[in-house]
Amino acid sequence: MVNVIGIGYIGLPTALMMASHGVEVIGTDYNKELVSTLNAGKTTFKEKGLDELFKDALNAGVKFTTEYQKTDTYIVSVPTPYDKFSKKVDAVYVVAAVKDVLTVAPQGATLVIESTVSPGTIEKSVRPALVEGGRTDINLVHAPERIIPGNMVYELLHNNRTIGADDRAIGEKVKELYASFCQGEIVVTDIKTAEMTKVVENTFRAVNIAFANELAKICRHDNMDVYEIIKICNMHPRVNILQPGPGVGGHCISVDPWFLVGDYPSLAKVIDESMKTNDGMPDFVLNRIYEIMKDNGMTDITRVGLYGLTYKENVDDMRESPTLQLLESQERHLATGLKVYDPFIEKDVVNNQYHNIDDFLDAVDFVVIMVKHSEIIESQDKLKGKIVLDCHNVCNIEGVYHI
Ligand code: SAJ
């Protein structure tokens, strides 16, 4: 039996996937509300294919509880926040979960950490917890997750994976467990290499996005079309530039590269600059809003609306979202009043938030597309007659502004 600790964005799909492939799984989380929602037969976030997978897993006998289980295999998938000031990873939740597991884990149990951590964290923070608890019999493994929100179920099945272990034989055993559902290649390596690959993958994407954002700024400065330029460059066989946008959100691309900057400040220069470039994009958009208002003789900020609150399209996750960053920045400049709408966010989370696209569009003259949800792409006719700042180049309307 596998006990998955932390049944959030990663732990839940992982637990469900294993259960629906014949593994006996119990998910444990200290959040009672989350556990009771799952036990009531409801998923806790929206994700393509998750509800169907949930049904299959329930039929297969998956269980959820707040109690830690006595078993031979644990998978820890709790969040790893980072300290905004020092830019270092804070393994506090991982260590707390590990300590809780140690209270029940039998001799020789295997503890798989899926949470993203910076290279060396398992050695520096997790192993000491085992040593202090007198539990060096526990086998430590790191199996960093790789699934992308919006396509998690597909990617769980098809992505290649990395397993880092102290002991090759244990690594192979864990590989077998993941192979119960994973159709990709599974590489077994050591723990520190596994930690580093995970952070490097997200850093690669962050740096590439920063490059696109910097190009957008250069092109704006001299009135060139960044999208046309990227499109043509990408026709070169060895060039693959990503897309500029209003900023970078989510819990991974906007966070993980900072771990390398925090740990290697005098070495991680390109990464540091890239992260600053991405973090500066919401402010860049705010400046564009003021410029465009001026061009159009607009003075009333309350007639401007931000479309989208989530960190990317067609998900309901708002963590570190560019829209939230922009609103925060606006408040810092002592200016407020922007209206906001997102079809995926039902609760009121910010001021001046709308819950219906038509009411939102009636209330504004200027729409800023912060997130390219399918809804706005499919209903762009509704934007006719409005001033539009399209931060993702998804509108085919004449006269739209770009970043
Ligand atoms: N973005 C751009 N331009 C682009 C692509 C993305 O501005 O061309 C922005 C998005 O709008 C979003 C942010 O970047 O705000 C991040 O989105 P994403 O779709 O690139 O990635 P995440 O954060 O949802 O998921 C990433 C994935 N990592 C990589 O692709 C290397 C995923 O595979 C990881 O599992 C995940 O991080 C994680 O949990 O680490």
Identify the structural domains of the chain with CATH numbers, from first to last.
2-189 (3.40.50.720), 280-402 (3.40.50.720)
Beta-strand runs (E) in 166-262: 186-189
Which pLDDT score is estimated for 86?
81
- Distance CA(49)–CA(196), nearest Å, equals 30
Q: What is the pLDDT of residues 326-345, one digit of tens each?
A: 999 998 887 789 999 999 99
Q: Which of 175, 182, 219, 252 is catalytic?
A: 252
Q: Which of 205, 211, 243 to mutate to test the pocket of ligand 1 (most atoms within 8 A of CB)?
A: 205
The answer to whether 255 and 320 have CB atoms below 8 angstroms apart is: yes
Q: Which residue has the tokens 């539990």?
A: 135
Which pLDDT score is estimated for 217?
98
Q: Which residue has the tokens 């036990």?
A: 39
Q: Which residue has the tokens 């001033």?
A: 387
- 267 CB under 6 A from ligand 1? no
User: If pLDDT is split at 50, 70 and 90, which confidence band does 180 have?
Assistant: very high
Contacts of 58 (CB under 8 A, 6+ apart): 41
CA distances (Å), origin 176, targets 26, 180, 187, 270: 19, 7, 11, 38
H helices of 29-91, in order, are: 32-39, 50-59
Q: What is the pLDDT of residues 34-73, one digit of tens each?
A: 999 999 999 999 999 999 999 999 999 999 999 999 999 9
What mean pLDDT comes out for the span 250-275?
94
- 248 CB under 6 A from ligand 1? yes
Q: What is the pLDDT of residues 190-246, one digit of tens each?
A: 999 999 999 999 999 999 999 999 999 999 999 999 999 999 999 999 999 999 999
Active site residue 252: yes
pTM, entire model: 0.94
Which pLDDT score is estimated for 333?
80
Could you give the 3-state DSSP secondary structure of residue 2?
strand
User: If pLDDT is split at 50, 70 and 90, which confidence band does 376 have?
Assistant: very high
Q: Tokens standing for 372?
A: 């390219």
